[in-house]
Chain A
């Protein structure tokens, strides 16, 4: 298949602007979903299965089938093994997948290859072999450094496991490690969050993702809250926790480059930048999402359906211009540096300039600010960003 739509976009872009975004547009990011876990966490609404690990070999075969049929010409800039718990795979299985990708796609010279790992599932040999295989970024699902919180979240590891896993990873040669942390946990005080932050920072990871706990309707944690067993997290406390993260992490020289992401200079997650900049990405596996040739595609969310037919999809929609401009603006504003007004004007013309009143309104509300050629969320606006974003949606 030839990405005609994509070529059109890129050639027009290149003619008018030679920005960082246009370079990403020629490439592709690959996401591989591994929907297996030791046990499902109490807050997790993603597609993952605790206790179906017998299906992993069949799943790998299905993935390979999907991958080889959906090849594109763009060189691959990043690969991301996400889940679920990708670290439940054996080294052999991970190698089988990455070899398969190499055989089917062309790769950039400097490629970022990330793998998500549960701190409770790692050992020295496994990590060394991963590193040697070319995995160069490890994302540890730490979530918290308090065992009571980890237990409430249904994590299978404890705080000590995180530190042990981190050191193992360093010794195995990982020089780019991320820790995922969660705040806004029921009953979590500002002080406990500060302790988690400080424990994380002490380890010195290159990247930190701090996610506000999202209470999805269909998860046990939400049920415990509505049953009154756990307290409802307080919005004001969550806001203070966010501000605390900003303060503590900037003190340790982490750049706050996206709403929920911090990195040491030079260590921003290249893979996620594809999402934020509406650049092409291919997702393989159950419930994986793709955006390529102007199409948004979601694979089936059911493991059995996927195993039967790895080309089953839940939806595949062409993103029309009005939605594309909205998404590009919304996703771009998630980045701390915001969006380049000139660049967006070139890319979308009138469709973008119609946002002027919205920008003026939200600047008046103190949510957005101008910085040279760019427009971005203010410090206050970041935690209220939905108030900006919904105004940017096209009228349906």
Chain B
């Protein structure tokens, strides 16, 4: 197909603003999938994502479209991830497009993260088509949302389309607008191959599969290729595109979007953002700079049963096949046994990994308190990075301690900013800026607040608290801005005299006592009574700052065995035994995994 008849675009939308539904309509309208086979939201792959209503892995689908004028087009719809933890992946997707449809929910208005992604798209000079979705809903306020779009993004009413992805209203016009407004791909069809890797995944038959946008030249089956940034040599074993199922073809030409299977095992050797060129006589400069995804949040993952560390390693290996941003190194703890210090893009990423380990691999894991990377300058002048609180040197050896800070952007209705600002300030936030989105009466006005904040403050219940303070009407986005000096101390927790490194955490000095009391109190609630008394203590160094006791239990009995129903009795005991398996032994004390999870929810 001629480059002139190709359009590459993506959809930018907040979670639940209707991106997947809109994609479904596009696919229906272009008959890429027969309606009988139409599974709703065909672009989302993993069950987990479907359940959570979010899209983690980007895919691209080629839609064959005949315009009203009767011309045939290839529309390549590239799916974007929709969560704050995955902003790097979003930026790579944008780099593969010439246009973006910006979807905004008519009942909710612009959200912080959408805004962040729109700015990214503008930076890349993408043609943006603003769309107000869900206009069929009773609570829709298209005029108000239009006002926000005009004031914040500078579009005029005539630029904005009103649609309902659910009913299909306005969607055919939107396709016409894509053809009219989004420019066809540029690029040099006869130059040496340059193709952008905007996504990748592991397939057990095809090995690592790269999702590509060819900019210059062409990629053919059997070509010897090279990743310019990482240096990996690959062979194009199979080339094709998605409709949305994979369809094999001979070559991808300039302007086209498709996939290439490599047979490689290690997804990290083919990083997203890298440029593919020919092994011999390839291009000289890559399309864009790429950086490997950098983990910002670290936590220890331990198998609930100590003898399963090998299984955990295998499971992590498998997860990493599809998730280059997950990192892990073995670590061992006197209490927890063999485990892994894992790096994540953010907390949602952590949640997803933990859930997949349990669901897909049947491996219940214990997660230690998440921590950020601390930069320590020792008294001898050495600079070290600490990702595990237990490895923090003693205070006398620390000359300077620094922690990562972020720039935080929060969008919320004006009426909630009082308590929100107070809470962010309490969390260590430094106020930077307020922006009013459009001009409305105060009851309808929404604002964007900008703060700088230690990343550490976001690790626990920060987002939940923001939601609670704004009745759920809040969205946020953040980016890393650098390291700043800080005063933190390491607090340890002892269970019956055993120091549980998994409970250790780094807290601001002035909040240590409160944190100690909270943690000890929470453990007292979550650790069940044992066959003996259990003491729980919080300590800074050798100084005990909080203490609680759990009295020995006295009752654990099945009173009655009615009419010979022994099976039922045995089932109850089986259940108890299963429950014990989910316990982590700390010394002689059985600690339920929930205790670890609940502790994570205590903010410091």
Number of A-B contacts (CB under 8 A): 99
Interface residues in chain B, defined as those with a beta carbon under 8 Å from any beta carbon in chain A: 529, 531, 553-567, 570, 573-574, 576-577, 580
**Residue pair B556, A386 in contact (C-beta under 8 Å):** yes
> Is A107 an interface position by the 8 A CB rule?
no
- A291-B566, A386-B576 are known contacts; what are 16 more A-B pairs with Cβ within 8 Å? A82-B563, A212-B557, A213-B559, A235-B529, A235-B555, A283-B563, A283-B564, A290-B564, A298-B565, A315-B567, A317-B567, A331-B561, A382-B557, A384-B555, A385-B557, A386-B557
**Chain B residue with minimal CB distance to A389?**
B573
Interchain CA distance A382-B555 in the complex, whole Å = 9
Residues of B within 8 A of A25 (CB): none
Given A236-B554, A296-B567 in contact, is the A387-B573 Cβ separation under 8 Å? Answer: no
Q: How far is the CB of A146 from chain B (nearest CB, A)?
A: 19
Q: A259-B559, A386-B558, A387-B531 are in contact. Are A331 and B566 (CB under 8 A)?
A: yes
CA distance A60 to B336 in the complex (A): 60
Could you tell me the distance between the alpha carbons of A281 and B553 in the complex, rounded to whole angstroms? Answer: 35
Whether A289 contacts B563 by the Cβ 8 Å rule is: yes
Residues of chain A contacted by B562 (CB below 8 angstroms): 46, 82
Q: Is the CB of A384 within 8 A of B567?
A: no
Contact with B along A366-379 (1 / 0, CB 8 A): 01000000000000
Q: Which of A304-346 contact B (CB under 8 A)?
A: 315, 317, 323, 326-327, 330-331, 334
Residues of A269-322 contacting chain B, CB below 8 A: 274-275, 281, 283, 287-291, 296, 298, 315, 317
Return the chain B residue nearest A239 by Cβ: B554
Please name the residue on chain B nearest to A334 by beta carbon: B561
A246 → chain B, closest Cβ, in Å? Answer: 13
Which of B559, B560, B565, B567 counts the most chain A CB atoms within 10 A?
B559
Task: Name the residue among B553, B554, B564, B573 with the largest chain A CB count within 10 angstroms.
Answer: B564
Residue numbers in B under 8 Å from A331 (CB-CB): 561, 566
- Whole-angstrom distance between the Cβ of A36 and the nearest chain B Cβ: 15
Q: How far is the CB of B553 from chain A (nearest CB, A)?
A: 7
- A386-B573 in contact given A214-B560, A236-B554, A365-B531 (Cβ < 8 Å): yes
Distance in angstroms between the alpha carbons of A31 and B555 in the assembled complex: 30
Query: Pick the contact of A390 from B531, B553, B573 — CB < 8 Å?
Result: B573
CA distance A274 to B563 in the complex (A): 11
Let me know if B557 and A31 touch, CB within 8 A.
no
Q: Which residues of A contact B563 (CB under 8 A)?
A: 31, 33, 46, 82, 283, 287-289
Interface magnitude class on chain A = 35 or more
Q: Does A49 contact B (CB under 8 A)?
A: no
The verdict on A257 contacting chain B, using a C-beta distance below 8 Å, is no
Residue of A nearest to B572 (CB): A386
A260 to B553, CA, bound (A): 19
Given A239-B554, A387-B531, A390-B580: A260 and B566 interface contact (C-beta under 8 Å): no
Task: Please report the C-alpha to C-alpha distance between residue A281 and residue B566 in the assembled complex, in whole angstroms.
Answer: 12
User: Are B560's CB and A260's CB within 8 A?
Assistant: yes
Residue A238 interfacial (CB < 8 Å): yes
Which of these, A291, A330, A384, contacts B554 with CB under 8 Å? A384
Q: How far is the CA of A391 from the CA of B531 in the complex (A)?
A: 14
Q: For A109, list chain B residues within 8 Å (CB).
A: none
Which residues on the B side are within 8 Å of A283 (C-beta)?
563-564
Verify A393–B577 contact, CB threshold 8 A. yes
Contacts of A260 in B (CB 8 A): 559-560
B566 and A390 form a contact (CB under 8 A):
no
Q: Which residue of the partner chain, among B557, B560, B567, B580, contacts A289 with CB atoms under 8 Å?
A: B567
In the bound complex, do residue B559 and residue A393 qualify as a contact, i.e. CB atoms below 8 Å apart? no
B532 (CB) vs chain A CBs: closest residue: A365
Cβ of B555 and Cβ of A238 under 8 Å apart?
Answer: yes
How far is A137 from B580 in the complex, measured between Cα atoms in Å? 42
**CB of A383 within 8 Å of the partner chain:** yes
Cα of A372 to Cα of B554 in the assembled complex, Å: 27
Q: Is the CB of A383 within 8 A of B564?
A: no
From residue 32 to 57 of chain A, which have CB atoms closer than 8 A to chain B? 33, 46
Residue numbers in A under 8 Å from B567 (CB-CB) = 289, 296, 298, 315, 317
Once the chains bind, are A383 and B554 in contact (CB under 8 Å)? Answer: yes
Interface string of A215-253 (1 = CB under 8 A from B): 000000000000000000001101100000000000000
Tell me the bound Cα distance from A31 to B560 in angstroms.
16
How far is B564's CA from A330's CA once the two chains are assembled, in angstroms? 14
Given contacts A281-B564, A384-B531, is CB(A214)–CB(B555) below 8 Å?
A: no
B508 to chain A, nearest CB (A): 38
- CB A153 to nearest CB in B, in angstroms, measures 14
Complex interface residues of chain A between 199 and 219 (CB less than 8 A to chain B): 211-214
**In the complex, which residue of chain B has the Cβ closest to the Cβ of A29?**
B564
Q: Give Cα distance in the complex from A386 to B570, angstroms.
A: 10
Check B564 against A289 for contact (C-beta < 8 Å). yes
Taking CB atoms, residues of chain B closer than 8 Å to A274 are: 564
A-B contact pairs, 18 of them (CB 8 A): A31-B563, A33-B563, A82-B563, A235-B529, A236-B554, A239-B555, A260-B560, A281-B564, A289-B564, A289-B566, A326-B570, A384-B555, A384-B557, A385-B556, A385-B558, A386-B557, A386-B558, A387-B556
A-B interface, 5 closest residue pairs, ranked by CB to CB distance from nearest: A212-B559, A239-B554, A235-B555, A289-B564, A390-B577
Which chain A residues border B529 with CB–CB below 8 Å? 235
Which residues of chain B are within 8 angstroms of A236 by Cβ–Cβ distance? 554-555
Q: What's the minimum C-beta distance from B592 to chain A, rounded to whole angstroms?
A: 15
Cα separation A33 to B562 with both chains bound (whole Å): 11
Q: How far is the CA of A56 from the CA of B553 in the complex (A)?
A: 45
Q: B561: which A residues are within 8 A, CB to CB?
A: 275, 331, 334
CB-CB under 8 A from B559, the residues of chain A are 211-214, 259-260
Chain A residues lying within 8 Å of B576, measured Cβ to Cβ, are 386, 390
Of chain B, the residue at the smallest CB distance from A288 is B563
Residues of B within 8 A of A46 (CB): 562-563
* A367 CA / B529 CA spacing, docked (Å): 16
**Contact in complex: B564, A396 (CB < 8 Å):** no
B556 lies within 8 A of A383 (CB):
yes
Q: Are B573 and A393 in contact (CB under 8 A)?
A: yes
- Beta-carbon contact of A327 and B566 below 8 Å: yes
CB distance from A271 to the nearest CB of B (A): 9
CA–CA, A327 and B573, complex, Å: 11
* Residues from chain B with Cβ under 8 Å of A82 in the complex: 562-563
Question: How far does the alpha carbon of A261 sit from the alpha carbon of B562 in the complex, in Å?
Answer: 13
Q: How far, in whole Å, are A259 and B559 apart by their CA atoms in the complex?
A: 7
The complex places the Cα of A384 from the Cα of B532 at a distance, in Å, of 12
Closest Cβ neighbor of A323 among chain B residues: B570
CB nearest neighbor in A for B574: A393
Measured between C-beta atoms, what is the minimum distance from B570 to chain A in Å?
Answer: 7
CA distance A259 to B556 in the complex (A): 12
Which of A31, A287, A288, A384 is the most central at the interface, judged by chain B CB atoms within 10 Å of its CB?
Answer: A384
A393 touches B570 (CB 8 A): yes
Contact A383 B574 (CB under 8 A): no
The CA of A291 and the CA of B580, in the complex, are separated in Å by 29
Task: Name which of A274, A290, A390 has the most chain B CB atoms within 10 A of its CB.
Answer: A390
Residue of B nearest to A180 (CB): B560
* Residue of A whose beta carbon sits closest to that of B559: A212
Give, as a whole number of angstroms, the nearest-CB distance from B577 to chain A: 4
Contacts A283-B564, A389-B573 given; indicate if A383 touches B557 (C-beta within 8 A).
yes
Task: Give A298 to B567 CA distance when docked, in angstroms.
Answer: 9
Complex-state Cα separation, A110 to B555, whole angstroms: 38
Q: How far is the CB of B583 from chain A (nearest CB, A)?
A: 12
Name the residue on A nearest B558 (C-beta).
Answer: A386
In the bound complex, residues from chain B placing their C-beta under 8 Å from that of A396 are 574
Kindly report which residue of chain A lies nearest to residue B562, judged by CB atoms. Answer: A46
CA distance A238 to B559 in the complex (A): 12
Please report the C-alpha to C-alpha distance between residue A321 and residue B564 in the assembled complex, in whole angstroms.
Answer: 19
Question: Which residues on the B side are within 8 Å of A296 (C-beta)?
Answer: 566-567
Question: Shortest CB–CB separation between residue B585 and chain A, in angstroms?
Answer: 13
Residues of B within 8 Å of A291, CB to CB, are 564, 566
Q: A199 to nearest B CB, angstroms?
A: 20
What residues on B are CB-neighbors of A33 within 8 Å?
563
The closest CB in chain B to the CB of A240 belongs to B554
Closest residue of chain B to A282 (Cβ to Cβ) is: B564
Whole-angstrom distance from the CB of B604 to the nearest CB of chain A? 32
A287 to B564, CA, bound (A): 10
